[in-house]
Chain A
Amino acid sequence: MHSPGDARPASLSDRARRWFAAVRPDNLIVYLGFLAVVVFFAVVLQDRGFLTADNFANIARQTAMVSIMAFGMTFVLSAGEIDLSIGSIVALSAMVVAILLRETNLIIAVLGALAVGLVIGLVNGLLTTRLRIPSFLVTLGMLSIVVGLARITTDLEPVPVVDETFAFLFGSGSIGPVPILLVWTAAFLVGFHILLRRTPFGRQVLATGGNKIAAGYSGINTDRIKIAVLMMSAGTAAVAGMLYAGRLQGARYTLGEADLLTVIAATVIGGTSMFGGKGSIVGALFGSLLMGVLNNGLLLMGLTVSEQLVARGVIIIAAVALSLREARA
């Protein structure tokens, strides 16, 4: 359809610029915040092992699930929707994979748990687009349904995971010195980043969130986009559930309970707009790392769980306020 134009070969500066554009999040606050928090803890916790390779590997492991879900959430928010059901999907997926591992084999268990997530995402998407219920309400209702289902599966009993291969692949293993959770994070990071920035699908997600009517007029099937992003976030939640089950070598209906707030905060701090049209996968990674460092640092400082909750809430609000402010400027 289009004329070839004077499409010159990509020059060096073009390549450099494109590479930079890929790494740059949509706002700087996430990097500055990350740096500030790391420096702060490094100084305050000098003698308590914050600045050690072990501790950072630990943070990376703890953050993997939140990061992966934040990548999915980036797509949902960019499309102008939201998914509140992810925490509950974590629990159900972990329960399903643990039960299926006990009853069948690894492949069926993994595919089964993934299918559970994707089907929930599909239902979320269909309800949002067909019945025109805002995704906020659909996924809020779904949250309750799925938590209930997770509790019903074993009548609140935890399920141990004894399959060594599964535990290795989904959590506790490592490839050389690299923890397998880091490999998972990196794989999702690269895949989702390219999907958002370099493919027509990503462009259509941003267009749908930026101006749904205009996107529709441009020939984009915005309903299909919404269904797709809700399936993506539910899918990432299912993966996160399996990673929890693998890392903890067991599943409980409480898994993922506290993750929703962290995931949304990480995504928004990373420069993704709550109102759609703007998203950054790399930003979401640093947003999650910021959350992870925060948890770790506060714990090492010796705060009680209750005090950590208060401190975390305050910092999240401050960080989101700052990043929104920068986005407006």
Chain B
Amino acid sequence: MAAPRLLARPVTEAEVVLRATGIRKAFGGVHALDGVDFSLRRGEVHGLVGQNGAGKSTLVKILNGVHQPDEGDLALTDRPLALATPSDARRAGIAMVFQEFSLIPTLSVAQNVHLAHEPRQGRLFIDDVRAEAETREILGRLGVAIDPRATVASLPVGSQQLVEIAKAVSKSPSILILDEPTASLSQAEIDILFGVLANLRSSGVSLIYISHHLQEVLTVCDTITVLRDGHVQLSGPASDLDLEGLVSAITGAKRGEQVAGGLVGRPAIDRTATAALEVHDWSLGSRLRDVDLAVYPGEVLGIAGLLGSGRSSLLRSMVGLEHAVTGTLRISGREIALHMPTDALRAGVTFVPEDRRRQGMVAGQSVQANLLLSVWDRLTHHFLIQEPRARQQGGDLIARLDIKTAGQRQLIEHLSGGNQQKVVVGRSLARGPDVLLLDDPTAGIDIGSRRDLLGHVRRFADDGGAVIIVSSELDDLYRIADRVVILVKGTVGRELELSRGDLLTEAAILSAIHTSESVAA
């Protein structure tokens, strides 16, 4: 399954300003980066792409001094470079625009832009007037109309992203790293951003550009490096690449190859039956717009889309976790207004949230307590929990999902990540739901548990349940989905269906995402 590897050759004759050689970095025994070489030339836009977990974020955090490599060397115009902290990186002229916003919401735009390098009045005092004037000047140069005095929390997310960029630019960096800069921007703002990047580039700034939007990367970048599983898969001029080649380098699948292991020859889902769950004209602010979607008994419906496409909001809105929704929602044909997850639960819809640690498991409690969290009311007699019945039901779930635990009394945090997630899924199944909604259920769990878990989900559907699964691991969808719907900026894009002969391979889904994206743009 070796991907086509392009011969490395100079993009331009410009000198290399930043060179990383043989970078290795492991977190808890897992190699995030396994011998990565990377070089950045003066005045180029260098695209960095790869799937989640491929090592992109780790690499740029090393270049920004947030993480230190276990092995390997950095050099700045051929002088060795040691970065112990983000301040070191800043002094070396490397600035970063973070994906998770690095702004202080309670401070003003100008205060954020100059944070930790405020202009002084005398030696001691901050000159706020000058800070505001300079911020206005920088924002003007970027071509954006934002009031430097406005509090960051009061700005829309798109403007916050531009402030973030202004903050990085204010340090006059020679190297600027952008991590998914367009994820929260509107098309107009994206155009502004591209103009800014072109200006920076022609003034000799080197840019590292991380994005999942491959079409965008091909348009904007001079050079592209693809990371996969902590290795450099490909590195070369963007002009030598096309979308298909990029997709195959990212996923490791050969061009046009169909990988075995997915679902084949499954009977078509009965669409004349009443939908288990359906939404119509379903909208949520700017995150979801007029979504029409239905899932039927026996079906696993996959939702794919880029970060910010609204996939998590969609699931959350379907269980009453989002309040500003409009449109109709029917569960087994009955129209229902959901105010909170309890309403969905009563109607037979359960939800496995995205963030296991924060939203899923109750740390400090036993496996049993976690499994039975939503069914205690069914295990009581005269308001008292019947311990034998609890033990029995807990045991049933542990056996059913094949959870590896020393016992029901074991604390959940002592389980492996995969088994913790099985407990969370087991809790959802405990109430005997009709519809199971899963938000990225295999994130951060090992391959064995992942297969197990997906098997249980598939079996749930085969027994007549309906499943909607969001996953950034497209391979998950390939393994269990009957149908995949692409979400693009809150609307339904292309739809791939197994029984209509569509391929649901990772590469097929990825290219469907990107064609839908370019149609929407």
> Is A220 engaged at the interface, CB distance under 8 Å to the other chain?
yes
The segment from B31-39, B111-119, B307-315, B496-504 found at the interface with A is B111-119
Question: Quick one: given A1-B117, A2-B119, are A7 and B104 in contact (CB under 8 Å)?
Answer: no
Q: Which residues of A contact B414 (CB under 8 A)?
A: none
A5 touches B128 (CB 8 A): no
The answer to whether A1 touches B124, judged by C-beta atoms less than 8 angstroms apart, is: no
Which of B130-138, B198-206, B252-260 lines the interface with chain A?
A: B130-138
Instruction: Name the interface residues of A203-220: CB closer than 8 Å to any CB of B.
Output: 203-204, 206-207, 209-211, 213-220
Cα(A194)–Cα(B126), bound, Å: 10
A64-105 Cβ-contact flags toward B at 8 Å (1 or 0): 000000000000000000000000000000000000000000
Taking a contact as CB atoms under 8 Å apart, the answer to whether A207 and B104 are in contact is yes
Decide if B366 is an interface residue (CB 8 Å cutoff): no
Is the C-beta of B90 less than 8 angstroms from some C-beta in chain A? yes
Query: Closest CB of chain B to A113's CB: distance in Å?
Result: 28
Query: Which residues in chain A, 1-40, are within 8 Å of chain B measured between CB atoms?
Result: 1-8, 10, 14, 18
Contact of B137 with A200 in the complex, beta carbons under 8 Å:
no
Residues 447-487 of chain B, each 1 if its beta carbon lies under 8 Å from chain A, else 0: 00000000000000000000000000000000000000000
CB pair B137 A218 closer than 8 Å: no
Are the CB atoms of A206 and B125 closer together than 8 Å?
Answer: no
Q: Which residues of A contact B105 (CB under 8 A)?
A: 210-211, 277
With A1-B171, A219-B90: A206-B129 Cβ-Cβ less than 8 Å: no
Minimum CB–CB distance from B132 to chain A (whole Å) comes to: 9
* In the complex, B101 has a CB within 8 A of chain A: yes
Contact A5 to B116, CB < 8 A, known contacts A207-B107, A214-B101, A217-B98:
no
B87: CB under 8 A from chain A? yes
Residue A172 at the B interface, CB < 8 A?
Answer: no
> Which A residues lie within 8 Å of B138 (CB)?
5
Query: For chain A residues 171-224, which have a beta carbon within 8 Å of chain B?
Result: 194, 198-200, 203-204, 206-207, 209-211, 213-220
CA distance A8 to B129 in the complex (A): 8
Q: Is the CB of B126 within 8 A of A198?
A: yes
Of the candidates A7, A10, A218, A273, the one whose C-beta lies within 8 Å of that of B116 is A218
If A210-B106, A217-B98, A219-B87 touch, whether A203 touches B111 (CB-CB below 8 Å) is yes
- Cross-chain contact of A219 among B85, B126, B127 (Cβ < 8 A): B85
B86 interface residue, CB < 8 Å from A?
yes
- Complex Cα–Cα for A28 and B100 (A): 33
**Chain B, interface SS category:** loop
Q: How large is the interface on A (under 10, 10 to 19, 20 to 34, 35 or more residues)?
A: 20 to 34
Bound state CA distance, A161 and B107, in angstroms? Answer: 46
> Given A3-B137, A7-B134, A210-B104, are A203 and B125 also a contact pair (CB < 8 Å)?
no
A199 to B98, CA, bound (A): 26
Render B64-76 as a binary contact track against A, CB cut-off 8 A, 1 for contact. Answer: 0010000000000
How many A-B pairs have beta carbons closer than 8 Å: the answer is 101
- Contact status of A7 and B133, CB under 8 A, knowing A1-B172, A200-B116, A200-B118: yes
Taken together as a complex, chains A and B put the C-alpha atoms of A104 and B31 apart, in Å, by: 64
Interface set, chain B 92-110, CB cutoff 8 A to A = 96, 98, 100-107
Contact status B107-A219, CB under 8 Å: no
B119 touches A199 (CB 8 A): no
Chain B residues with CB below 8 A from A194, complex form: 125
| A220, B115: Cα distance in complex, Å | 9
Name the residue on B nearest A200 (C-beta).
B118
Complexed CA–CA distance, A220 and B129 (Å): 22
- Closest chain A CB from B124 CB (angstroms): 6
Question: Which of B87, B102, B107, B134 makes the CB contact (< 8 A) with A2?
Answer: B134
Interface: B416 (CB within 8 A): no
B274 at the interface (CB under 8 A from A): no
Tell me which residues from 239 to 285 in chain A have a Cβ below 8 Å from any Cβ of chain B: 273, 277-278
Contact status B133-A198, CB under 8 Å? no
Q: Is the CB of B128 within 8 A of A217?
A: no
CA distance A5 to B130 in the complex (A): 8
Which residues of B lie under 8 Å from residue A210 when comparing CB positions? Answer: 104-107
Q: Once the chains bind, are B133 and A218 in contact (CB under 8 Å)?
A: no
Contacts of B106 in A (CB 8 A): 206, 209-210, 273, 277-278
Residues from chain A with a CB closer than 8 A to the CB of B87 are 219
A277-B104 in contact (CB<8A): yes
- Tell me if B129 and A214 are in contact (CB < 8 A): no
User: Would you call A199 and B102 a contact (CB within 8 A)?
Assistant: no
Chain A residue nearest in CB terms to B88: A219
Which residue of chain A is the closest to B66 with respect to CB atoms? Answer: A217
Q: Is B215 at the interface (CB under 8 A from chain A)?
A: no
Q: Which of A112-163 contact B (CB under 8 A)?
A: none
B126 to chain A: closest CB distance in Å? Answer: 5
Q: What is the bound-complex CA distance between A49 and B65, given in angstroms? A: 65
* Listed A/B pairs (16) with beta-carbon separation below 8 Å: A1-B117, A1-B171, A2-B134, A2-B172, A6-B133, A7-B127, A198-B126, A199-B125, A199-B126, A200-B126, A207-B115, A211-B102, A214-B103, A215-B116, A217-B66, A219-B90
Known: A199-B124, A206-B104, A220-B115. 12 other contacts (CB 8 A): A1-B171, A3-B172, A5-B137, A14-B129, A194-B125, A198-B126, A199-B126, A200-B126, A210-B106, A214-B103, A215-B104, A218-B115
| Residues of A near any B CB (own CB < 8 A) | 1-8, 10, 14, 18, 194, 198-200, 203-204, 206-207, 209-211, 213-220, 273, 277-278
